[in-house]
Structure 1
């Protein structure tokens, strides 16, 4: 059973096609792992093994007939709780929301069903997806499988914990300031935030993307052929484009790659993080790329302006709630949001204007380089019950300065493991590409993975 969990999506599909393994048999392995590990990590919401067994049986019958629905037929997948699935509530990670069944599948859920994926659970997130943490007023505390005393990050907390725990090969998160890449980095996964509009989302929000979180680059690339199909409900959805997501060919000779070790504000990278990223850059240099040290694209004014805008926007979202419901929101987030209660319209617009400034500085940088390497997370880890790496609602975004600018500039960015700390926690390398160069980021990530090898010592369930 354990050996089956090491198979990639391509290997699973090949085995299904050859009839040497069935989706039913693979699901049994995943179900056993969930039963063993979920009590410790608390990654899942609406886990439904009975439905998964029925979906896996239907997929097995399709493969026996040689008629799979699509490239993900029979592949178990989780969706972040924020991604609506028809007939199921979307609590947004908070006890303040009424549990009303969703009227329809969001674009990602629809694509998964069209291709026959086995959707077996949603994954946890903090209140309104507004934290880099597994802490929530609605869900149980999600923990990092590498060390249960530590945080998986967020806001795609459950997705990262599920991936590191081995709950199948594919987990879909969302990302507005680093919420795919940050937890992927802290949990050792590959997390991919594509160019804005490449994976349609609904509801739309400035900078909000969705992306796969997997144990290897190939699984994320394989999933993109399903995830990237356009959907009219997202007005930013990119038009259909023929992209060979599995193409690996890339020549580093003549490529200029920026090395960014200073985010311009927020936390400075801890020494172990900095050293791991520098070592990764040297690998690219040895392979023929020109490594250019580059300055930050962020400033304190940008980060603070974004904070003002997000606080005012979020206060506007929750102000119509009754006082009793507002008080159900995680206190950390409510205290942060209250800072937006008296922000003027002028100041809110000025704050939003800082997202445009980020776009400008990111665009200027990419006139000089073809890609950028940086840390994902400046810190190695932090306690599981903290709301953020600062645990201070007055300084909520000190850890996102390396990740958030690429949301606002709409550029593709990925997190890939580049080593471990002395404490045994994963360290993430961020690889950023020009707008729409999603395939370039995947190719650079594959190349790096080919040098370092995939993680082979994933966490195993504790004896509870």
Structure 2
């Protein structure tokens, strides 16, 4: 993306890094940029329903303060004045944090969750909260409070979940950066469905305090979604800033070709052949960049975790998070009420068995790094499906359950590994994402490879063709 091209782009199409450059060059300022995003929101919100709450007065005040810092030549960071959105399961002071549920309809946090606090300290302008499915435990985005969220590439389809509102807003031009959570693929799969990049940091890379109750212990992390990899770099620099030296971003090109294992399937579970064709082509492009990409079988522990441990961990996690709300079930949608009932019926031995499977999964994935530097997979086994459906009923002609599309992502959460979603290409007019997973502490390596991929293969696909 050349500077000359950027000069011709509407302000709402600029990512965080490009907007920072525009401020530096005096082509716009934070107040005008915010107005462009508010105007864009007015156009697209009736179509995609991506925002759960908009704090226009707060955003205007923050943009005005940022513009003054830029006028003095004293911006706080590369994100100063950049409009961002925050997923509605991350507390932001002064805004409701409703978790997509009537159970939390009246929840107004008094404090920012710590990653948001660090972003505000960096000068980011919080535009508002993005929609989520109830308790962020579904793979599509439909909430009893905010209704159905749609994919900007085709509004009849889902953007995925649970960061569906985050990616729908960003892909439609609302916010230059989106902040979300990922407990089983909730950043990476939606990013893949909407032509964006997204980072799930490794466990502990982005410290968290003052958040909602934990439904996925030691699995859910806060991470960014952006239009360019550099946007993710700037976001992580801000959010991981609590521990100086704990994370250092990519400052130069990759020092050496990488050894990449490629999982095309998980235990023979179905995958859409159109998705596989795009990811196979991306694997070949990585080879042409000089990397070694070798097809490999996923350890059987990955499938065992998906099939046996994940259902127990998610159900018991929800039951634990709502243990002090005995009337919660009566206020919930049918899917979450059923999940809550399952979680309440499970025994301690069921959870202990699931935790043992997580330990087995961690041991199995550790062996991967003896012969490989990174792992490549699709972000999802399916293309986006009809927006009102909770999941695709079948993939490649085979019936699947609610996690059939999600087989490639949750293992990275259970093992605490960092993972990066990148646009791999398009098929039938829809984006397809690929996932790169690294060993603990490999965020900088992942982002460096992402920058190389983007510089060679281009940033996210063209904008959706409306309106």
TM-score by structure 1 length? 0.91
Are the aligned partners of 2:302 and 2:411 in contact in 1 as well (CA < 8 Å)?
no
1:4 is displaced (CA, Å) by 1.9
Structure 2: distance between partners of 1:400 and 1:122: 25
Structure 1: distance between partners of 2:172 and 2:48: 8
Aligned match of 1:350 = 353
Q: Choose which of 238, 241, 257 in structure 2 pairs with 1:226.
A: 238
Are the aligned partners of 1:2 and 1:29 in contact in 2 as well (CA < 8 Å)?
no
Structure 2 residue 261 is matched with structure 1 residue 291:
no
Q: Choose which of 5, 8, 12 in structure 2 pairs with 1:5.
A: 12
Structure 2: distance between partners of 1:288 and 1:251: 12
Q: Choose which of 442, 455, 458 in structure 1 pairs with 2:460.
A: 455
Structure 1: distance between partners of 2:222 and 2:393: 25
Structure 2: distance between partners of 1:210 and 1:390: 30
The gaps in structure 1 that reach 5 residues or longer are: 231-238
Aligned match of 1:100 = 107
Aligned match of 2:420 = 414
1:49 is displaced (CA, Å) by 2.2
Aligned match of 1:197 = 204
Structure 2: distance between partners of 1:460 and 1:98: 35
Structure 2: distance between partners of 1:118 and 1:197: 25
Structure 2 residue 262 is matched with structure 1 residue 259:
yes
Structure 1: distance between partners of 2:94 and 2:13: 33
Structure 2 residue 175 is matched with structure 1 residue 156:
no
1:447 is displaced (CA, Å) by 1.4
Structure 2: distance between partners of 1:242 and 1:36: 41
Structure 2: distance between partners of 1:23 and 1:98: 32
> Against the structure 1 CA distance between its residues 305 and 14, is the aligned structure 2 distance closer, same or farther, given a 3 Å change threshold?
closer
Q: Choose which of 307, 310, 313 in structure 2 pairs with 1:309.
A: 313
Structure 2: distance between partners of 1:248 and 1:140: 44
1:229 is displaced (CA, Å) by 1.3
Number of aligned residues: 448
Query: Secondary structure at the residue paired with 1:341?
Result: helix
Structure 1: distance between partners of 2:414 and 2:140: 21
Aligned-residue Cα RMSD (Å) equals 2.0
Query: Secondary structure at the residue paired with 2:339?
Result: helix
Match runs of 1:128-143 below 5 Å: 128-143=135-150
Are the aligned partners of 1:269 and 1:375 in contact in 2 as well (CA < 8 Å)?
no
Are the aligned partners of 1:245 and 1:439 in contact in 2 as well (CA < 8 Å)?
yes
Aligned match of 1:236 = none
Aligned match of 2:3 = none
Aligned match of 2:397 = none
Structure 2 residue 131 is matched with structure 1 residue 119:
no
Q: Choose which of 51, 73, 81 in structure 1 pairs with 2:88.
A: 81
> Against the structure 1 CA distance between its residues 301 and 20, is the aligned structure 2 distance closer, same or farther, given a 3 Å change threshold?
closer
Worse-superposed segment, 438-447 or 346-355: 346-355
Are the aligned partners of 2:305 and 2:411 in contact in 1 as well (CA < 8 Å)?
no
Are the aligned partners of 2:279 and 2:378 in contact in 1 as well (CA < 8 Å)?
yes
Aligned match of 2:249 = 245
Structure 1: distance between partners of 2:121 and 2:198: 23
Are the aligned partners of 2:391 and 2:401 in contact in 1 as well (CA < 8 Å)?
no
> Against the structure 1 CA distance between its residues 456 and 259, is the aligned structure 2 distance closer, same or farther, given a 3 Å change threshold?
closer
The gaps in structure 2 that reach 5 residues or longer are: 1-7, 395-399
Structure 2: distance between partners of 1:243 and 1:440: 11
Are the aligned partners of 1:218 and 1:246 in contact in 2 as well (CA < 8 Å)?
no
Deviations 1:108-146 (A, max 9, x none): 110121111110101111111101111112222111000
Deviations 1:294-349 (A, max 9, x none): 111344432212212321232233354344x4132121222233222321111121
Are the aligned partners of 1:309 and 1:349 in contact in 2 as well (CA < 8 Å)?
no
Query: Secondary structure at the residue paired with 2:224?
Result: strand
Aligned match of 1:180 = 187
Aligned match of 2:223 = 211
TM-score by structure 2 length? 0.91
Structure 2: distance between partners of 1:103 and 1:48: 15
1:433 is displaced (CA, Å) by 1.1
> Against the structure 1 CA distance between its residues 252 and 259, is the aligned structure 2 distance closer, same or farther, given a 3 Å change threshold?
farther
Structure 2: distance between partners of 1:15 and 1:67: 15
Structure 2: distance between partners of 1:319 and 1:21: 49
1:244 is displaced (CA, Å) by 4.7
1:456 is displaced (CA, Å) by 5.1
1:87 is displaced (CA, Å) by 3.2
Aligned match of 1:446 = 451
Deviations 1:413-446 (A, max 9, x none): 1111111122x11100111111101011111111
